[in-house]
């Protein structure tokens, strides 16, 4: 029996790469994104069901799940990938922009998972696309770090609740990713972000697939793994984090400057 996957933020980046990979593996796909035109093009290319939706509209999420079940008869995999990041100091953004990050990155995945749990069968799985910023506070990304930490800790705790229905949950935590998500506001990406190796969207999609196919719950996959270990070390040993920060920022600044030069941007 063909399994059905619902992917949010599916019109580009990690979401699109995940959709392509799951299509190759024989999944039926329900794809969600705000941009209807782009989403419809992707869905047509992949033979998928397109559902234009802004996940920040929490009240619409139960209907989103119902539409998937109505069309496919089941929902076996939920990939909470949609995200938003207003970069730079929180003081340069409006209260509405800060709240949007919490709603899209934290509240929406929780609410969508809750709705999906009512229709998912035992053996189903939820995968959240988190961030290494959720494991270690990132200067210049305070609210984003908080939103990703929130979804990470929620997943670790929610695993027990979901296990009552035989549903697994996992979180994939990428560091910097070579995608439009970074390039959209490259000038305001913190140098610390570029201190770690960049992953491709395809590598992130492979990590999502590993999480889907694993038996562990809760499960976490960090990308790159070495950066995940460094983030954990920095979290449990703040003095070491403060000691390493100047060198990491210096390295990241060089990488950022070169990337901006290649993109034809001024620093």
Residues with active-site annotation: 144
How far apart, in whole angstroms, are the C-alpha atoms of residue 32 and residue 155? 21
How far apart, in whole angstroms, are the C-alpha atoms of residue 22 and residue 9? 15
Which letter, b or e, does each residue of 154-176 get, where b requires 16 or more Cβ atoms within 10 Å of its Cβ? bbeebbeebeeeebbbbbbbbbb
Cα–Cα distances in angstroms (integers) from residue 95 to residues 54, 98, 117, in the given order: 19, 5, 32
Contact criterion met (CB below 8 Å) for 135 and 231: yes
Bond preceding residue 213 cis, omega within 30 of 0: no
């Amino acid at each position: 029996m063909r399994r059905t996957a619902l992917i949010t933020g599916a019109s580009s980046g990690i979401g699109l790469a995940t959709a392509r990979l799951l299509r190759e593996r024989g999944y039926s796909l329900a794809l969600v994104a705000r941009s209807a035109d782009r989403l419809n093009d992707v869905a047509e290319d992949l033979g998928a069901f397109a559902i234009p939706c802004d996940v920040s509209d929490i009240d619409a999420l139960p209907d989103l799940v119902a539409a998937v079940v109505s069309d496919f008869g089941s929902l076996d995999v939920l990939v909470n990938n949609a995200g938003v990041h207003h970069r730079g100091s929180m003081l340069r953004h409006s209260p509405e922009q800060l709240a949007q990050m919490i709603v899209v990155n934290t509240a929406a995945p929780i609410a969508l998972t809750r709705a999906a749990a009512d229709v998912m069968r035992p053996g189903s799985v939820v995968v959240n696309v988190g961030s290494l910023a959720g494991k270690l506070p990132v200067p210049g990304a305070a609210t984003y770090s908080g939103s990703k930490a929130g979804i990470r800790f929620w997943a670790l705790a929610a695993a027990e609740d979901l296990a009552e229905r035989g549903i697994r949950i996992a979180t994939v935590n990428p560091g910097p990713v070579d995608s439009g998500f970074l390039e959209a506001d490259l000038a305001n990406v913190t140098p610390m972000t570029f201190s770690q190796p960049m992953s491709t969207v395809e590598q992130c999609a492979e990590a999502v697939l590993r999480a889907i196919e694993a038996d562990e719950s809760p499960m976490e996959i960090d990308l790159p793994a070495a950066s995940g270990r460094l983030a954990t070390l920095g979290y449990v040993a703040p003095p070491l984090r403060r000691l390493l920060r100047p060198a990491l920022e210096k390295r990241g600044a060089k990488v950022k400057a070169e990337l901006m030069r290649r993109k034809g941007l001024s620093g």
